Chain A
Amino acid sequence: MAKILDGKKLSTEIRDELKQDIKSLKEKGIIPGLAGILVGDDEGSATYVRLKEKAGEALGIHSEAVRLSKDTTEEHLLQEIDRLNFDSEIHGIFIQLPLPEHIDENKALNAILPEKDVDGFHPMNVGKAWLGQEAFLPATPDGIREILVRYGYSNLKDKHAVIVSTDNLVGKPLASILVQEGVGANVTLCHSSTPNLSDYTRQADILVVSVNKAKFITASMVKEGVIAIDFGANYIENPADSTKKKLVGDIDFEGVKEKAEAITPVPGGVGPMTITMLLCSTVKAAKIMSHRQS
């Protein structure tokens, strides 16, 4: 039976460590500041922004949410970003995605100063990470990295990592973390439509899946001893209670856990790590800026 990679527990540990970091920053007169921009009134996005705000405040991070109406012009959004770029109390800026269709998402993301781009979506950060340089990383792949490291899987030199996801949020930046010289693995990037997908997944020492297809990866698709990481979030009918939906991942947890060496549950695996990693990046940004000023 597999070891459960408990993202919730790790997340609490990391937030405790962050409190210490923030305390010592405060002794130097620095309060880490995080600003989130929300455009429109999408309920899910609004909840996320509130969660990030609250989580930051709980640790003593100065948190600011900029809520703009859904018909905000691109020009106005860019002005807001610029204001935050110049605000010395703000060390990290994120834009809650998706943006309304009339706004060019790339243009907005590229307007954030790379030094404050704690979500790691600016091409400068994406490029540096890919080249193996110090950079801000997107929260999900960064959280996956942290889970692997904290559970003792830090040297991946003789491992084969198979990533089923090629998007800009998970697949690409995770490949960029895992492929680096030194401790990096052999990396295969698959699409969910890759022909004979199971030929690849069955080779994986580390399997990461993010395709949002409930129970897409079954036990027959993995090898004995795999480390299985699941970043899927799918709501399915709950057989026990028809009035409530049940949250499951992209991996058939019950089946795969019998074969895996380690596995992340859904919920409670990678999910809880994402906000924590955003807060880590904010504290890191504040530290870097304080070094520059001193």
Chain B
Amino acid sequence: MEIIDGRKIAAEIREELSQRIGKLKEKGVTPGLAAILVGEDTASLSYLRSIARGCEKVGMLMETVELPKNITQEELDKQIGELNQDPKFHGIILQLPLPKHLDTLRAESAISPDKDIDGTNPVNTGKLLLGEETFLPSTPRGVQELLIRSGHSPEGQHVVICGRSNIVGKPLMGILMQKRKGANATVTVCHTGTKDLPSITRQADILVAAMGKAKAITADMIKEGAIVIDVGVNQIEDPATGKFKLVGDVDFEAVKEKAGAITPVPGGTGPVTSAMLMINTVKSAERTNK
């Protein structure tokens, strides 16, 4: 059984990126990423800090624009508009969830498609599905990259995705079903209401868990030798110590005995997701400075 090391893969990607960033810097361009955070949320802040550290390592600019939680939609639109115009930034991400009084889709649609490096503007979602050139959302794109780089290409495989969210399940289906290299899979998307879920998950050559439910995928739900990718991030209390710890949607200890390869949580898909944000920001900077 093989543990797929997301941190190592992310480091490889950053290494490759350093070269591209070096070339941009020769032209006097530093790729810049702006993150918008509405309200104070410690989990979001620590996530954005980890992205900032990654950017710093490769010489990219990253700034978090912190906005008050009672900001109006109009003010948020205006802030996004200013970032759209700011030549310092080649990529803009909007940290979710937003406070309830704000319309997420409207805010995402306000990000210029050319700077929408996390592919959340519906125009970019549409292009993804149609197979046109666009920025692909970082989490599902990271899953694809992790599979390819660990030598488990999804081509011709049956990929079963548990969870049909707009940020993971649906775009991942859209990416992996395209007729092209590194994709071309037969894809099934399941949800929590799926009748007899194990009968579907046991068919998976590649199983992607993205339902946001701690240890929901157990050993009896996978087939021998399956590749298991865990996108879940759940905080649970360790009964022995009373401390909180991070676990995925997969029961790692039991499943790893049966799987052909598996990603750990933390240290699996997470670091690759951040690396994808960086790749897309660099790509955007390269486009505007051809």
Q: A5-13, A122-130, A213-221, A267-275: which lies at the B interface? A: A122-130
Q: Does A253 contact B (CB under 8 A)?
A: no
Q: Does A103 contact B (CB under 8 A)?
A: no
Q: Is the CB of B122 within 8 A of A181?
A: no
Q: Is the CB of B126 within 8 A of A127?
A: yes
Alpha-carbon gap, A191 to B123, bound state (A): 25
Q: Does A157 contact B (CB under 8 A)?
A: yes
Contact residues, A83-141 vs B (CB, 8 A) = 106, 122-128, 130-133
Nearest A-chain residue to B195, judged by Cβ: A158
Contact residues, B173-202 vs A (CB, 8 A) = 173-174, 177-179, 184, 186-191, 193-195, 200
Q: Is the CB of B188 within 8 A of A188?
A: yes
Alpha-carbon gap, A130 to B190, bound state (A): 16
Q: Does A186 contact B (CB under 8 A)?
A: yes
Supposing A123-B123, A186-B189, A195-B156 touch, asked if A168 and B173 sit within 8 A by C-beta, the answer is no
Partner of B186, one of A123, A181, A189: A189
Q: Is the CB of B129 within 8 A of A130?
A: yes
Q: Does A59 contact B (CB under 8 A)?
A: no
Chain A residues whose C-beta falls within 8 Å of the C-beta of B178 in the assembled complex: 166
Q: Is the CB of B191 within 8 A of A125?
A: no
Output the least CB separation between A175 and chain B (Å). 7
Q: Is the CB of B186 within 8 A of A179?
A: no
Q: How large is the interface on A (under 10, 10 to 19, 20 to 34, 35 or more residues)?
A: 35 or more
Counting chain A CB atoms within 10 Å of each CB, the highest count among B122, B128, B166 belongs to B122
Q: Is the CB of B105 within 8 A of A131?
A: yes
Alpha-carbon gap, A188 to B185, bound state (A): 11
Q: Is the CB of B193 within 8 A of A158?
A: yes
Chain A residues whose C-beta falls within 8 Å of the C-beta of B128 in the assembled complex: 127
Q: How large is the interface on B (under 10, 10 to 19, 20 to 34, 35 or more residues)?
A: 20 to 34
Q: Does B170 contact A (CB under 8 A)?
A: yes
Supposing A179-B164, A194-B186, A195-B156 touch, asked if A126 and B173 sit within 8 A by C-beta, the answer is no
Q: Does B132 contact A (CB under 8 A)?
A: yes
Q: Is the CB of A186 within 8 A of B188?
A: yes
Supposing A106-B132, A179-B170 touch, asked if A126 and B186 sit within 8 A by C-beta, the answer is no
Alpha-carbon gap, A157 to B164, bound state (A): 13
Q: Does B130 contact A (CB under 8 A)?
A: yes
Supposing A130-B170, A133-B105, A157-B193 touch, asked if A187 and B188 sit within 8 A by C-beta, the answer is yes
Q: Does B127 contact A (CB under 8 A)?
A: yes
Chain B residues whose C-beta falls within 8 Å of the C-beta of A194 in the assembled complex: 186
Alpha-carbon gap, A194 to B157, bound state (A): 9
Q: Does A276 contact B (CB under 8 A)?
A: no
Q: Does A176 contact B (CB under 8 A)?
A: yes
Alpha-carbon gap, A168 to B132, bound state (A): 11
Q: Interface SS of chain A: helix, strand, loop or mixed?
A: mixed
Output the least CB separation between B61 and chain A (Å). 29
Partner of B129, one of A106, A133, A157, A176: A176
Chain B residues whose C-beta falls within 8 Å of the C-beta of A130 in the assembled complex: 125-126, 129, 170, 174
Chain B residues whose C-beta falls within 8 Å of the C-beta of A157 in the assembled complex: 193
Q: Does A184 contact B (CB under 8 A)?
A: yes
Q: Does B281 contact A (CB under 8 A)?
A: no
Contact residues, B136-194 vs A (CB, 8 A) = 156, 164, 166, 170, 173-174, 177-179, 184, 186-191, 193-194
Q: Does A190 contact B (CB under 8 A)?
A: yes
Q: Does B22 contact A (CB under 8 A)?
A: no
Contact residues, B98-123 vs A (CB, 8 A) = 105, 121-123
Output the least CB separation between B155 and chain A (Å). 11
Q: Does B267 contact A (CB under 8 A)?
A: no
- Proximity string of chain A (144-159) to chain B, C-beta cutoff 8 Å, 1 when within and 0 when not: 0000000000000111
Q: Is the CB of A191 within 8 A of B188?
A: no
Q: Does A223 contact B (CB under 8 A)?
A: no
Chain A residues whose C-beta falls within 8 Å of the C-beta of B174 in the assembled complex: 130, 172
Q: Does B269 contact A (CB under 8 A)?
A: no
The 9 closest A-B pairs by CB, nearest first: A123-B126, A127-B126, A127-B122, A127-B125, A126-B126, A188-B188, A158-B195, A194-B186, A123-B127
Given A127-B121, A168-B130, A179-B164, 18 other A-B residues pairs in contact with their CB atoms under 8 A = A106-B130, A123-B123, A123-B127, A124-B122, A125-B126, A126-B125, A130-B126, A131-B122, A158-B193, A160-B194, A166-B177, A166-B178, A166-B179, A186-B188, A186-B190, A186-B194, A188-B188, A189-B177
Q: Which residues of B contact A (CB under 8 A)?
A: 105, 121-132, 156, 164, 166, 170, 173-174, 177-179, 184, 186-191, 193-195, 200, 203
